[in-house]
Structure 1
Amino acid sequence: MTTTAEQAAWFADTFGRLVTNVERVLLGKSHVIRLAFVALISEGHLLIEDYPGTGKTSLARAMAQSVRGTNSRIQFTPDLLPGDITGVSIYDQRAREFEFHRGPVFANIVLADEINRASPKTQAALLEVMEESRVTVDGESHPVPRPFMVIATQNPIEQAGTYRLPEAQLDRFIMKTTIGYPDHASTMRILGDAAIRAHDTEVPEIVTAEVVAEMAGLARGVHVDVSINDYVSRLIDATRGAEEVRLGVSVRGGLALVRCARALAAANGRHYVVPDDIKQLADPVLAHRLVLDAEAEFDGVSASSVIAQVVLETPPPSERQSG
């Protein structure tokens, strides 16, 4: 079903109220909050690489409260086991059968804190449920609630005792971004409320989980012109041909970019995608999917700089190719 202009206007109004609501907790970070909600409505997952104390937990809690959902936080450590995330089957002697006890992954918004501190086996257990939206234990499948979103974090300053996420697993995250420290004005407001603990702050409910599902359906109906698809194809082709890159963006990355662009267009009140939507999302959606050449990394080249150069050198479409 194609999304109409009236539906896009309703979508933009609802999206704006969600962002404003979460910004009560995460002051001065509307751009990051918008990206997080675009990821949620695109039915994807978010990877945040940032320093401690920037508000990652507050973001997850406030998003869940805004959509009347549940949230959980998993602190990843080297001794964390897959069952600690997904849940385990325990034998009930009275009923003489195994009973499944759900793990913390059964929530609408799951914060996987410092995901790179857990073993690859434990990381894989989380990434499996991210992809399948269900947990299978002892041959029995248990679906996770909808909407379902994992916000995983990594600390960029501590690498000792960590297990770097493989590139194939990074590709499962629809976006990667940072929150960063607040500006001076926001810091002053935060310090003025220092008597209130961050975890004591609650934001009101704006919509229900059913409305989020409806918004996701509307985003899927946003029109994408053939020229936009051609533009995305040329962008990902350009990443594969960049001399600093050993492995470029896959087709999955191109699909993720189009999905997010649909949600962003609707958030801006449009029922169609424009090239600026693609440009705005190119870095958070594509940069973490690149594998740079070792020599380029040694020279200080970043994936974001490669994406910026690719966007600069790839001309956007100048006219529509289909109605």
Structure 2
Amino acid sequence: MQYTNDKAAVDALHQFYKDIKNEIGKVVIGQDEAVKSVLISILSNGHCLLVGVPGLAKTLLVQTVADVLDLNFNRIQFTPDLMPGDIIGSEILGEDRNFKFIKGPVFSNIVLADEINRTPPKTQAALLEAMQEKSVTAAGHKHILPKPFFVLATQNPIEQEGTYPLPEAQLDRFMFNVLLTYPTFQEELTIVKNSTGNNPVTLKKLINAEQIEYFQQLIRTIPVTDNVLEYAVKLTGKTRPGTPLATPEINQYVNWGAGPRASQFLILGAKCHAAISGKYSPDIEDVQAVAEAILRHRIVRNYRAEAEGLSIEKIIKNLL
């Protein structure tokens, strides 16, 4: 991909984003914020956790994104009896009496970890190395995953039976935690009309793996002013109870705040948000636009907050 300069490349990314969003919109009705978050996390080389009750098109959204982006896609249905080898692959004894490694479904550009909280921690942990190191280790050998590599996980809300809460360390690997909401009346009318008729939709493949890698590098080169950097780091610092930046509300209602990874993601997400909005450098509004999805799963409320019905979203809004 050749652009005369970075400015032209950002303009191209802005246009690509609009085209991709329109193409996804042919299949996924509504859920604009979720689509935006998934695309930002892919362009920022992060992972995304989609949370919502069954039937809100979580899986459909991920499949549609993979189609439009012309990437390899594997879906892993997480169940209580799933083993780590079912994800990363395993060694088998070949006919030549030597062990060979058979790759598991994690060897793909986009991995949909469907209902990730249905499987025990041991199996969830098998994804951890893949998400962090972009590689897996089997029988002492390291295997590099294809580039680009993203995990898009779906999770039903914890209240449902037979689920294992994701450990904090695993949650922290996800750049975004996106809540999917019910469609509006008009959106649901359109969904029912489109999905119960006989008009199959064919999607155009708009962008490939090589182009995505190029844009991931481009986003890292976008300049950020000091005041935006300071705002992001201060925002993360404010979430930590018992520290100098913590607000009285945080000290009163929060057990645990966000770590430095949140600050990194706030800046990366703000850079990407600026680029897809057609801007050449992020401002404080761009940080605020991505803050809720980045901080939501990194702040742990205490019992008092739960008893008083104070939601994580309300705590974040007050910080902003």
Q: What TM-score, normalized to structure 2?
A: 0.92
> Unmatched 5+ residue regions in structure 1?
312-323
How many angstroms does 1:70 deviate by? 1.2
Task: Compute the displacement of 1:31 (Å).
Answer: 2.2
| Counterpart amino acid of residue 21 in structure 1 | E
User: How much does 1:63 deviate?
Assistant: 1.0
Residue equivalent to 2:11: 9
Is 1:203 aligned to 2:203, yes or no?
Answer: yes
Q: Report whether the alignment pairs 1:78 with 2:87.
A: no
AA matched with 1:6: A
From 254, 275, 290, give the equivalent of 1:281: 290
> What is the SS of the residue equivalent to 1:136?
strand
Partner of 1:121: 122
Contact 2:41 2:48 in 1 (8 A): yes
Distance 2:314 2:162 in 1: 28
Alignment check: 8 A CA contact 1:65 1:202 kept: no
Q: Answer yes or no: is the 8 Å Cα contact 2:26–2:201 preserved in 1.
A: no
- Which amino acid is 1:218 matched to? L
Query: 1:149 and 1:309, CA in 2 relative to 1: closer, same or farther beyond 3 A?
Result: same
Distance, in Å, in 1 between the alignment partners of 2:288 and 2:195 is: 38
The 3-state SS of whatever aligns with 1:130 is: helix
- Deviating more after overlay: 56-65 vs 23-32: 23-32
Aligned-residue offset at 1:115: 0.8
Aligned match of 1:232? 232
AA matched with 1:52: P
Measured in 2, the distance between the counterparts of 1:156 and 1:118 equals 14
1:152 aligns with 2:161: no
Q: Give the corresponding residue for 2:70.
A: 68
Q: 2: distance between equivalents of 1:195 and 1:136?
A: 45
Match of 2:98 in 1: 97
Q: Which residue of the partner structure matches residue 21 of structure 2?
A: 19
Give the 3 Å change call, closer, same or farther, for CA 197–160 of structure 1 in structure 2.
Answer: farther
- Equivalent pair of 1:20/1:30 in contact (CA under 8 Å): no
Instruction: Provide Cα deviations, 1:27-72, integer angstroms capped at 9, x if missing partner.
Output: 1222211110000011111111101011111111111111211111
TM-score (ref. length: structure 1): 0.91
Structure 1 residues 6 and 63, CA gap change in structure 2 (3 angstroms): same
Q: In structure 2, what is the equivalent of residue 290 of structure 1?
A: 299
Q: How does 1:22-37 map to 2 (within 5 A)?
A: 22-37=24-39
- The offset of 1:5, in angstroms, is 2.6
2:307 counterpart letter in structure 1? F
Shift of residue 193, structure 1, vs aligned partner: 2.4
Distance 1:202 1:136 in 2: 38
Displacement, 1:158? 4.1
Counterpart of 1:309 in structure 2 is 318
Q: In structure 2, what residue type is equivalent to 1:103?
A: G
> Partners of 1:152 and 1:113 in 2: how far apart?
6
Q: What is the number of equivalent residue pairs in this alignment?
A: 307
Tell me, yes or no, if the aligned pair for 2:236 and 2:263 is still in contact at 8 Å.
yes
Q: 1:250 maps to which residue?
A: 259
Aligned-partner Cα distance in 1 for 2:277–2:270? 10
CA RMSD of aligned residues (A): 1.7
Aligned residue among 58, 61, 76 for 2:60: 58
Paired with 1:197 and 1:130, the residues of 2 have a C-alpha distance of: 39
- Looking at structure 2, the residues matched to 299 and 127 of structure 1 have their Cα atoms a distance apart, in angstroms, of 34
Residues 115, 153 of structure 1: 8 Å contact kept: yes
| Alpha-carbon offset, residue 157 of structure 1 | 5.9
1:320: which partner in 2? none
Partner SS, residue 51 of structure 1? coil
| 1:190-211 deviation digits (Å, cap 9, x = unpaired) | 222234599x755220011101
Q: Which residue of 1 aligns with 2:243?
A: none
* Counterpart code for 1:138: A
Distance 2:197 2:148 in 1: 30
**SS across alignment from 1:288:** coil
Counterpart in 1 of 2:48? Answer: 46
User: Cα distance, 1:4 vs. partner?
Assistant: 3.1
Secondary structure of the 1:235 match is: helix
Q: Where does structure 2 lack aligned partners over 5 or more consecutive residues?
A: 241-245
* Partner Cα distance (1:202, 1:50) in 2: 27
Deviation at 1:20, TM superposition (A): 1.3
* 2:158–2:165 CA contact under 8 A, matched in 1: no
The residue aligned with 1:135 is 136
Distance of 2:259 and 2:202 partners within structure 1 = 40
Give the Cα–Cα distance (whole angstroms) in 2 for the partners of residues 201 and 54 of structure 1. 19
Q: Are the equivalent residues in 2 in contact too, given 1:175–1:285 (CA < 8 A)?
A: yes
Whole-angstrom CA distance in 2 between matches of 1:104 and 1:227: 43
Q: Check whether the contact 1:62–1:202 (CA below 8 A) recurs between aligned residues.
A: no
Tell me which residue corresponds to 1:321.
none
Partner of 2:181: 180
